[in-house]
Structure 1
Amino acid sequence: MVPRVLVSVWVLVLCAADLCNWTGSGSAAGPDSRLVLQVRLRCTEGSVTWLHPGPALRVVLEPNLSSARSGSVCVQPRPTLRGARLFVERSGRLQLLGEEEEEEEEEEGGRLGWHRAFCFRTDGPHRPVIYIQGWRGPGSWSRSWVGFRYELLDNSRGSAAPQEASCRPCSDSELLMAVCSSDFVVRGHIRNISHDPVRHTSVVEVAAARVYRQRSGAFELHPSASPPSWRGHIHIPLRCGVKPGDGAFLFTGSEHFGEAWLGCAPRYKDFLSAYHEARRERRNFCDFPLDR
């Protein structure tokens, strides 16, 4: 049964030298202690690694941004969460985000990758709180580690969790804003589309002739290609039913945990038409580098 209300426990507050990331050990509480370790982090993105997990870890996210009060939080657990459970705390109650089964298999090469992200809206004036319930049972305390990555999104600036993406085409106004404010803007062709029913996503493989902007290196230059080009993968919710198309596109979107997620993707010639018209009427939001 999922615990709905926090029980009375002792809380040990730990100081994080790195205000974005925390790595610590459950040995501070001991294998049989009822201590809940508490960590406070002050960045909009980072990671938590808990070695030899104890009974519970409470992570309070309190970035120095007033806009964080009207946003969303995305959490991406590691598969080594196996047997532990991840919650979001809302007004003293715990809501389950995810847990892993013992029999989950490792990925190719024996390495475990990241899970799909869980996203939720922040709870008014209350700071987001992530709560990990450690493993229970004989020998559970000796297991290696659990962890997750987190991102705080500012909804007031148009940021949205990947799962909340709209599947409708962008209007000209939305497109003109997207080329000015997106995490990535690239011009290229669709090479392939694959579907992942487990993560409920489709993945578009893109060969890009031009990378105008990117935040975290989702697109990499392949100098050995003929001609040399950028390659990358763009994610989109499976429910959008993305289909292949010929010709050049202008891909824009956001980056979450190093992955590119699609925002607007018009054909490049359609973007040029909308941009030229907006510039003539002096309603473009920014200057865009036009090239052939």
Structure 2
Amino acid sequence: MVCGSGGGVAACRLVLCYLLTCVIWARCHYTSDECDWIGSGLPHDPQVKSVKQLYLRCSRGHVDWDYAYGAIRITFQDGTSGRDFQGCIKPASHFSGASVYVQGKNKLELVVHPQQQGRDDGSTGTDSKQGQISRTYCFDSRDGKATLFVEAMPNVDGKRKTVSFDYSLELKNRNSKKDVFKDCRPCNETELMTAFCASDFVIKSKIAEVSDDRENEETHIKLSIGHIYNQAENIFTEVKPGRYTGTVVMPLKCGVRHGEGHFLMTGSVRLGKYRLLCAPRFSEFRKLARAMTERGLNECDMSEVIHSTEN
């Protein structure tokens, strides 16, 4: 196995030593088919740094490893589908004292460095409860699986080390290796109808402000929302009766710019990040909804859109 340049030779050797110890002395601990995992790193024998083997097969969940010691190896898989996915983790604010690597074909690539942990620095993803932006870290699966190595730092300072993060797996399009979220093209009529009926949020909104986050290659779009047709959670903040605000994101490469008027916006919520998928002008979508309903091709009730006004 060859170490990635970002991980450092010493750190990579330490991870490999853990793995060798696990194989030779059979000091691995296993869990499988769980969405969430909570465990302790307190060792039975402080001279042996064991590797915990975790198998998580849900599309989303939580990992909490208190008193982190040694390493854990986490294999993610979306149920039994065998399909490839993009996985993302969002460390908690109290995440400390560990590095996270993703296993590539022949190398370990550093995903989270200890100096990055617990940082609310305006980089990616909106946290509606705290009103802050929190960083997420993403990786791609290979052959339907992805593996992370989480290595606790040596306990030279005597401080308690806690590894805590949420994770989310998003299946990739069967007909394309591209993440749908990263596809900048406008949604076609079929996609618009499906998005309206099945998205995590569906809103009628104006664009209040657009700002680019070049470090994370995203554009943040602050919204002035006039009506919420659907939302999976209470993700938008009510600023006055019937008026809401919130921020959604798009890839920087899409070149999103400020536009006037109302838009019908649909998207998904993932690890506290509100990702915009389809955003036609409201008047255009209303015409489509009316036409599809008259032809009996609507996938859900669209009467609320059809009978609404532009303002």
For the criterion TM > 0.5, the same-fold answer is yes
The secondary structure found in structure 2 opposite 1:76 is strand
Normalised to the residue count of structure 2, the TM-score between the two structures is: 0.76
Aligned amino acid, residue 143 of structure 2: G
Match of 1:115 in 2: 135
Taking only aligned residues, the RMSD between alpha carbons, in angstroms, comes to: 3.4
Q: What's the CA shift for 1:92?
A: 7.8
Q: What's the CA shift for 1:256?
A: 0.7
- Does the 8 Å contact 2:120/2:135 carry over to 1? no
Residue 242 in 1 paired to residue 219 in 2? Answer: no
Aligned amino acid, residue 213 of structure 1: N
Q: What's the CA shift for 1:252?
A: 0.5
- Does the 8 Å contact 1:193/1:205 carry over to 2? yes
- Does the 8 Å contact 1:72/1:160 carry over to 2? no
Residue 197 in 1 paired to residue 214 in 2? Answer: yes
- Go from structure 1 to structure 2 and tell me whether the alpha carbon gap of 1:107 and 1:174 turns closer, same or farther (over 3 Å shift): closer
Equivalent pairs: percent with the same residue?
28
Q: What's the CA shift for 1:77?
A: 3.1
- Go from structure 1 to structure 2 and tell me whether the alpha carbon gap of 1:102 and 1:143 turns closer, same or farther (over 3 Å shift): farther
- In the aligned structure 1, how far is the partner of 2:176 from the partner of 2:245? 25
Number of matched pairs: 281
Match of 2:186 in 1: 169
Residue 45 in 1 paired to residue 86 in 2? Answer: no
For 1:8-157, what aligned pairs fall within 5 Å after superposition? 8-10=20-22, 11-15=27-31, 19-28=34-43, 31-62=46-77, 65-67=79-81, 69-78=83-92, 84-89=98-103, 94-101=108-115, 114-120=134-140, 122-124=141-143, 127-136=145-154, 138-139=156-157, 142-156=159-173
Normalised to the residue count of structure 1, the TM-score between the two structures is: 0.80
- Does the 8 Å contact 2:94/2:118 carry over to 1? no
- Does the 8 Å contact 1:206/1:231 carry over to 2? yes
Aligned amino acid, residue 175 of structure 1: L
- Does the 8 Å contact 2:173/2:179 carry over to 1? no
- In the aligned structure 1, how far is the partner of 2:253 from the partner of 2:91? 23
Match of 1:286 in 2: 300
The secondary structure found in structure 2 opposite 1:101 is helix
Any unmatched runs of 5+ in structure 2?
1-7, 123-131
- Does the 8 Å contact 2:74/2:147 carry over to 1? yes
Q: What's the CA shift for 1:269?
A: 0.1
Q: What's the CA shift for 1:30?
A: 5.5
- Does the 8 Å contact 2:207/2:260 carry over to 1? yes
The more displaced of 189-198 and 249-258 is: 189-198
Q: Deviations over 1:16-44 (max 9, x none)?
A: 8x932223221136554221122333422
